[in-house]
Structure formats: C-alpha cells, structure tokens
C-alpha cells in the first residue's frame, strides 16, 4: 500500500464495495462447520461462500444460532472449519494467530475481553510492548493516541477494566484491536449492551476510523440502526449459508422469511426510515 | 480537530501503480540522506508500520539510522516516498522530532492527517507516584484495617454458619443435601487415591528411618508404638488435611471466585438465595464429614506402608504388627484425631469460602485469592494441630 492508499481522502462510505478491482481481504469458500459427533452432530454452515473486499464494512446478519460468531472465529483462525478454506490477507486463516497477528487483524470481542489484571493503557499497549523493540515512551504514546482516538480521555488510562462502563470497555477493546493499525477489523456485536446514545457515538467513531484508517470491517450485529448507519454491504446467514449479500437496500428487497421478519418488521421500518434510498450503494449490480 | 499548523508542503506527484507495487515489496524501513537546494534532507523509505518496527533486525538498523539523523532546524524531512506509515511509525517520528513539527517537511495529506492526530493526542507522561513517608504510613494503616476486615468477615461467616446450621436442624428436609453429597464426592471420594499414595509412602519412609535407629538399641518391636502413635495421632490427619487444603481449598476459592467474576454471586442474591446457606454451609458440612474419613484412610495407608517396610527391613511380621497395635495406641488417640480432622475440614472449607467471596472481578485477584486460601488453610491446619497437641497432651499417651 502506498502512502496514497493509507491516505484516505475518503468519503464517509469510501470504496464502492462491490467494485471488482478491490482486492479480497477475506475469502471463504466451501466452508462447512459441524459441531458434535454421531447422533448429536449438527451442521452450522454448509458450503458457505463469502468474500470481503478491501474497504468494505460488511455486516453479518442472521438469526440466533446461525453461526455468525463461529464464522468470525474461523476468520480469526481460532477455530478450524470442518471443511472448506478460509483465506485472510492471502494466507490461510490458521496461520493468522502467530507472531505479529495484531498487525494483520484486530478483533473486538462481544464482552470486550480486556485483560482484567492490566489497566486501560497496558491493555492497549500490550501487543506493541510484547514485540520488545520500540522504546517504552513511543509505545506509551502510541497507546495514548489510540486511547484518545476512540474517544476516551487521558485520565482513563490508569483505570482498571472492572471500573469501566460497558461503553468504555468497548472503546478500550477497540483501541486495543487497532493499536497496530491492522488492515482488517472484526467486530462481534459492537453495539450490544450499549444505550442508544453510546451506540450512536460508537457508530460515528467506527465510521470515522474506517474513513481515516482505510479499514476493512466485518461485523456481526443484530442492531438494525448500526447496519443501516455503517455497512456498505450486508450478508445474511440463513439455511447454513449466505443466502444473499449486497447493499442494505438490495438485501431488504430479497424475498426470504427471515429478511422479511428481520428488516421489514416494525423495528426495521423505524431504522430504515431516515436512510435515503441511495445512501449506501450507488452502483447498479 | 485542531487546525493544521503552517507547513511547507509541496504538491506531490501522483504515484503510478507500478511504483505502488514496487513500494509494497519494500518492507525495510530506512532513511536516506539527500541534498536538496534548501539544504540536507532525510528521505524516509520502506514500510514504517508496527509489524516492521517490531521485527528486531529491522528495528536495530532503523534506530541506528534515526540516531544518525538528529532532529534539528538544519534537516528537512521527506515522507513522500514512504511505502506505508501507520500510527506507530508516525509516533516514532513525532517523538524523534521532539514533539514538534520540523521546519521543512514534505508529505502527503493523509500522512499529515495521521501526524496531526498523533500530535494532538500525544500527551505528557503522567507524573509517577513519588515515595513519601506519609504514604507509607497510610499504607501500613490500610494493611491493618485490611487485617481487621478479614477478622470481622471471618467472624461474620462463622456466625452465619451457626445460624444456617440452626436453620438446617429446624428443617432438615429443606437442606441443600444434593450440594452436600456432590461436594462429598468431589472433595472426599476423589481425594482417596492421592491421599492413599502419599500416606503409604510416608509410612514406608518413616518405618525405614526408624528401623535404622531402633536396631542400634535392639528395640525393633517398638516400631509398632512409634509408627502407631505418630501416624494415628499426628501424621495421618495432618497429611490428609494438608493435601485436602491444597486440593479442595483452592478449588472452593476458585469456584466461588469465578462466580464473582461472572456475577453469579450477584445473581444468587437477586434471586433471594443466601450465599451462606447454599454456598458456604454445604461445603463446610461436606468437608467436616469427609475430612475425618480421609484422615482415617490416610492413616490406614500409612500404617500399611509402615507395616510393609517393617517386615522387609526388620522382619517384623504384619501379624505381629496388627496384634501389637491396639496395645500400643489407645483408642482415645483415634478419637482425638477424628475430632481434630473435623475442625481441619470445617476450617479449610471456611477459609476457602472466605477468600472466594472476597475475590474482585479480575483475574489477578482470583489468583491472589486462591494462593492466599491455600496458604492460610495449611497454616491453619498446622496451628490447630499444635493447639490440639498442647491441649490434649495428657490424653492417650502413656
């Protein structure tokens, strides 16, 4: 990537998501996941294909138990699919969790997963400090910058995770995920458990970071407001595969009971209302 | 965001795709000195990213180069040919520049955005706590209060336990018997193999050591007395209690501590289920019942080991051993051992619960609590044993 590419005179929804030129960051093909053995076995994914291109904000949507979080864990290389391949940044996902993983992918866990024995600053600086090269002053400063980029104040740096509110935990977790500026960011329910205000703030923050860092984002969410506010593309998981993926507008028009129920219920209507028809996609497909 | 400081920023030529690809395959971050009409300039090349700076060889080379380019008014900086710059690289540069914009700087807009963000958010280091006498005195006071708090909480827990047992006696059918039986199995039955093994080996070791000494006096048959008294009265209950303190004391603390971390303790309270009656009492009862049985079992295993070793080392037959034992050890020793074990068991469980309930919701505290629980429990076992030894010194020994 050149300086120009890092650079991001980007609009709020930068790259046109479905533009074929953008290279694939995540490629999932023929993926199957089976849990349990024998009689107890149940299939979560079957022959699932999904590609995430650079600069996209992809929302993974699906009912409970459709394996959204499992899919994220496959992408992270934390779990291995029963069959199929997951390629992240041109390499098999299984190799992702090795040395330098923090510079390739960032993950925001649903509960934050902050290290409860470290204070906020040490949580953020952990991956950077573990490399053992940079002077501690630079590491501290870099962590402080990330801390403030996610909207926290310097005086929060010395707090312990147990003393943080839910929204702050998410922010610290996001700062920790971003400390090495990874090109790919995975979010598991980023706004779950936040009040509407914090949730909106968090969306704004993600949008800003996406624009300024040129991130590719994959998120699992149930929050319709977040989906419409942020995502450039929505992939719907049902029937053990991705039944449709496209801009929110395209997905809403797809005829499937889950989508009808999920998007076109009362809550969906309310969330969609403020979104103009062409807000998140301007290309005919 | 703060307004941009005034910079001499020249327009940059657009970089074509081929250059992009070339630059992408150029990871080593480095500095090249160049002379421009305005004076010397340091051109940055390569990938200035966290991953590259984190690679030791690249970092060593780069930090040497950085040291050769001290930041000063005479030197210009050119970031335009850099292949990749992230916040960590920008931070490194910013700190190298002494947290100020260099006089001559050429860079792209995106890089300037990043550096501005770094500049805006770089804060002065928070002052470190300095050592003062009054703070140390404060700390001592806090320690004392802490100890008092422990004492108070222990007393409360003991009182609550008495009340809970009273409640159980009034209405035994509604007691948490399933919990008790579960704990009996986990803390008692599953401890049998390890206590038997340790007891047996200690018995063997003791018998061998004694045999060497006793043979010098021709007093081989006294092995029965020595082993009998020491194992039945002291070592059996002690060994069992120390093993159980390590095994179950830590387990109790960890269990209850994790319940604190996952807010299960709060959930129980909200549901109106008292901690004392459902968490503490079943464990205390289970260990108070299991501990004497484990002590007996350990003693038997140790006597078995001693008997075997005495047979091999001194030719004292097991038949003689078994026959002589009742004469050597009066039953009151056994009763005392059992009584002692009940106290050990109840104490271990109480200490485990005490530390478990004090765990704060973080992993550090969980670890500290578990350690403290085991250390306190073992200390308690030894102290109680000493108290029993003094208190019952005239009992059972002729």
Q: How far is A120 from chain B (nearest CA, A)?
A: 13
Question: What ranges in B102-132 are assigned the alpha helix state H?
Answer: 109-121
Give me the pLDDT at residue A20, please.
53
Whether residue A266 has pLDDT greater than 80: no
Beta bridge partners of A88: A26, A91
Within-domain flag for A3: no
Whether residue A283 has pLDDT greater than 70: no
The chain A residue lying nearest B23, using CA atoms, is A2
Give me the average pLDDT of each 10-residue run along chain B (398 residues).
37 37 61 82 85 85 84 81 85 86 84 85 71 88 94 94 94 90 94 95 94 88 90 94 95 94 88 90 96 96 95 91 91 93 96 94 88 96 95 80
Distances (CA, A) of B317 to A69, A171, B223, B309, B313: 68, 74, 12, 10, 10
Minimum mean pLDDT range among A215-224, A262-271, B35-44: A262-271
Give me the pLDDT at residue A5, please.
39
Give the number of A-B residue pairs with CB atoms closer than 8 Å. Answer: 137
Q: How far is A57 from chain B (nearest CA, A)?
A: 20
Whether residue A12 has pLDDT greater than 60: no
Within-domain flag for A156: yes
Give me the pLDDT at residue B236, please.
94
Task: Please judge whether A181 and B117 are an interchain contact, meaning their C-beta atoms are less than 8 angstroms apart.
Answer: no
Exposed/middle/buried for B170, CB within 10 Å: 0-12, 13-18, 19+? exposed
**pLDDT tens, position by position, A127-141:** 888 888 888 888 888
Could you say which of 3.30.750, 3.30.60, 1.10.3470, 1.10.287 is the CATH number of the domain covering B17-121?
3.30.750
Within-domain flag for A19: no
- Please check whether residue B233 is in contact with residue B333, taking contact to mean a CB–CB distance below 8 angstroms: yes
Task: Please judge whether B113 and A8 are an interchain contact, meaning their C-beta atoms are less than 8 angstroms apart.
Answer: yes
Whether residue A176 has pLDDT greater than 80: yes
Task: Please judge whether B54 and A134 are an interchain contact, meaning their C-beta atoms are less than 8 angstroms apart.
Answer: yes
Q: Which residues on chain B are in Cβ contact (under 8 Å) with A102?
A: 50
* A19 phi and psi angles, rounded to 5 deg: -65, 125
Minimum mean pLDDT range among A36-50, A147-161, B13-27, B319-333: B13-27
A88: Cβ contacts below 8 Å, ≥ 6 apart: A25, A26, A27, A75, A77, A96, A104, A105, A184
Most A CBs within 10 Å, among B17, B49, B54, to test the A interface: B54
**Maximum pairwise Cα distance, chain A:** 57
**Residue whose token pair is 């991953």:** B51
B362 vs A3, A137, A161: nearest CB: A161
Whether residue A3 has pLDDT greater than 70: no
Say how far apart CA A261 and CA B294 lie, in whole Å: 61
Within-domain flag for A32: yes
Give me the pLDDT at residue A8, please.
40
Task: Please judge whether B51 and A103 are an interchain contact, meaning their C-beta atoms are less than 8 angstroms apart.
Answer: yes
Q: Which residues on chain B are in Cβ contact (under 8 Å) with A117?
A: 362-364
Task: Please judge whether B83 and A160 are an interchain contact, meaning their C-beta atoms are less than 8 angstroms apart.
Answer: no
A154 vs B14, B59, B123: nearest CB: B123
Confidence at A272, pLDDT banded by 50, 70, 90:
low
Task: Please judge whether B83 and A3 are an interchain contact, meaning their C-beta atoms are less than 8 angstroms apart.
Answer: yes
Within-domain flag for A4: no
Task: Please judge whether A1 and B83 are an interchain contact, meaning their C-beta atoms are less than 8 angstroms apart.
Answer: yes
CATH code 3.30.750 region(s) in chain B: 17-121
Within-domain flag for A260: yes
Task: Please judge whether A133 and B82 are an interchain contact, meaning their C-beta atoms are less than 8 angstroms apart.
Answer: no
The chain A residue lying nearest B80, using CA atoms, is A3
Give me the pLDDT at residue B244, please.
96
Name the residue range of residue A112's domain. Answer: 24-272
Among residues A199, A202, A205, A125, the alpha carbon closest in space to that of A157 is found at A125
Q: Which residues on chain B are in Cβ contact (under 8 Å) with A119?
A: none
Give me the pLDDT at residue A273, please.
64
Give me the pLDDT at residue B44, please.
85
Task: Please judge whether B361 and A162 are an interchain contact, meaning their C-beta atoms are less than 8 angstroms apart.
Answer: yes
Within-domain flag for A282: no
Give me the pLDDT at residue A17, please.
47
Give me the pLDDT at residue B88, please.
87
Distances (CA, A) of B301 to B50, B192, B237, B320: 61, 10, 12, 18
Q: Which residues on chain B are in Cβ contact (under 8 Å) with A181?
A: 49-50, 86-88
Say how far apart CA A212 and CA A141 lie, in whole Å: 19
Among residues A78, A166, A173, the alpha carbon closest in space to that of A118 is found at A173
- pTM exceeds 0.80: no
Task: Please judge whether A3 and B49 are an interchain contact, meaning their C-beta atoms are less than 8 angstroms apart.
Answer: no
Task: Please judge whether A6 and B110 are an interchain contact, meaning their C-beta atoms are less than 8 angstroms apart.
Answer: yes
Q: CA-CA-CA-CA torsion for B365, B370, B373, B379, nearest 10 degrees? A: -120
- Please check whether residue A75 is in contact with residue A86, taking contact to mean a CB–CB distance below 8 angstroms: yes
How many Cα atoms are found within 13 Å in the side-chain-facing hemisphere of A174?
Answer: 28
State percent of chain A over pLDDT 90. 2
Say how far apart CA B386 and CA B142 lie, in whole Å: 31
Give me the pLDDT at residue B31, please.
85
What does the pLDDT average to over A159-181? Answer: 87
Q: How many domains does chain A have?
A: 1
CATH code of A78's domain: 3.40.50.300
**Residue whose token pair is 């590609």:** A51
Whether residue A270 has pLDDT greater than 80: no
Minimum mean pLDDT range among A90-94, A213-217, A277-281, B332-336: A277-281
Q: How far is B16 from chain A (nearest CA, A)?
A: 10
Whether residue A281 has pLDDT greater than 50: no
**pLDDT tens, position by position, A72-86:** 888 888 888 888 888
Most A CBs within 10 Å, among B12, B88, B361, to test the A interface: B88
Beta bridge partners of A217: A57, A185
Task: Please judge whether A142 and B361 are an interchain contact, meaning their C-beta atoms are less than 8 angstroms apart.
Answer: no
């Amino acid at each position: 990537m050149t300086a120009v590419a890092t650079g991001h005179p980007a609009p709020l929804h930068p790259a046109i998501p479905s533009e074929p030129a953008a290279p694939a960051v995540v490629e999932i093909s023929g993926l199957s996941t089976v849990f349990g053995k024998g009689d107890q076995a149940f299939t979560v994914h079957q022959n699932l294909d999904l590609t995430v291109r650079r600069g996209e904000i992809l929302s993974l949507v699906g009912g409970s138990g459709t394996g959204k979080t499992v899919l994220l864990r496959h992408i992270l290389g934390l779990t291995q699919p029963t069959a199929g391949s997951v390629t992240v940044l041109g390499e098999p996902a299984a190799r992702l969790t090795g040395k330098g993983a923090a510079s390739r992918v960032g993950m925001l866990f649903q509960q934050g997963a902050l290290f409860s024995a470290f204070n906020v600053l040490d949580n953020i600086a952990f991956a950077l400090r573990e490399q053992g090269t940079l002077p501690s002053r630079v590491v501290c400063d870099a962590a402080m910058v990330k801390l403030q980029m996610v909207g926290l104040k310097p005086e929060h740096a010395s707090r312990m995770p147990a003393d943080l509110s839910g929204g702050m935990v998410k922010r610290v977790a996001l700062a920790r995920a971003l400390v090495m500026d990874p090109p790919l960011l995975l979010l598991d329910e980023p706004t779950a458990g936040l009040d509407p205000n914090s949730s909106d703030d968090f969306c704004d923050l993600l949008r800003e970071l996406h624009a300024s860092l040129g991130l590719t984002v994959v998120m699992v969410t149930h929050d319709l407001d977040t989906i419409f506010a942020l995502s450039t593309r929505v992939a719907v998981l049902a029937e053990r595969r991705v039944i449709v993926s496209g801009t929110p507008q395209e997905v809403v028009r797809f005829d499937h009971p889950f989508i009808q129920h999920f998007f076109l219920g009362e809550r969906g209507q309310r969330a969609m209302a403020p979104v103009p028809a062409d807000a998140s996609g301007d290309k005919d497909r | 965001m703060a307004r941009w400081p005034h910079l001499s920023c020249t327009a940059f030529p657009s970089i074509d795709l081929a250059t992009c690809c070339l630059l992408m395959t150029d990871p080593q971050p480095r500095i090249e000195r160049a002379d421009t009409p305005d004076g010397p300039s340091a051109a940055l090349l390569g990938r200035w990213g966290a991953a590259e700076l984190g690679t030791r060889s690249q970092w060593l080379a780069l930090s040497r180069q950085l040291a050769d380019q001290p930041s000063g008014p005479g030197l210009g900086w050119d970031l335009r040919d850099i292949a990749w710059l992230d916040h960590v690289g920008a931070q490194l540069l910013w700190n190298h520049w002494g947290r100020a914009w260099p006089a001559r700087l050429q860079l792209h807009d995106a890089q300037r955005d990043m550096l501005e963000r770094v500049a805006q958010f770089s804060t002065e280091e928070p002052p470190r706590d300095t050592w003062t006498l009054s703070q140390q005195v404060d700390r001592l006071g806090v320690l004392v209060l802490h100890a008092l708090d422990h004492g108070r909480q222990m007393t409360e827990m003991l009182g609550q336990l008495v009340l809970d047992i009273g409640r159980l006696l009034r209405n035994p059918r509604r007691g948490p018997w399933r919990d008790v039986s579960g704990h009996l199995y986990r803390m008692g039955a599953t401890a049998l193999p390890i206590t038997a093994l340790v007891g047996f080996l200690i018995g063997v070791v003791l018998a061998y050591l004694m045999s060497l000494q006793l043979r010098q006096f021709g007093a081989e048959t006294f092995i029965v007395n020595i082993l009998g008294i020491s194992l039945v009265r002291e070592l059996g209950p002690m060994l069992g209690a120390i093993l159980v303190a390590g095994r179950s004391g830590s387990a109790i603390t960890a269990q209850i501590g994790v319940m604190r971390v996952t807010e299960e303790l709060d959930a129980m309270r909200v549901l109106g289920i008292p901690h004392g009656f459902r968490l503490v009492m079943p464990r205390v009862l289970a260990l108070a019942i299991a501990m004497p049985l484990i002590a007996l079992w350990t003693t038997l295993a140790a006597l078995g080991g001693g008997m075997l070793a005495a047979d091999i080392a001194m030719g004292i037959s097991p038949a003689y051993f078994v026959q002589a034992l009742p004469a050597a050890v009066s039953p009151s020793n056994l009763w005392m051992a059992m009584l002692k074990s009940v106290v050990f068991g109840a104490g271990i469980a109480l200490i485990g619960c005490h530390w478990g309930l004090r765990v704060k919701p973080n992993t550090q505290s969980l670890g500290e609590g578990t350690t403290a629980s085991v250390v306190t429990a073992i200390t308690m076992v030894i102290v109680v044993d000493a108290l029993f030894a003094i208190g019952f010194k005239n009992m059972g020994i002729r």
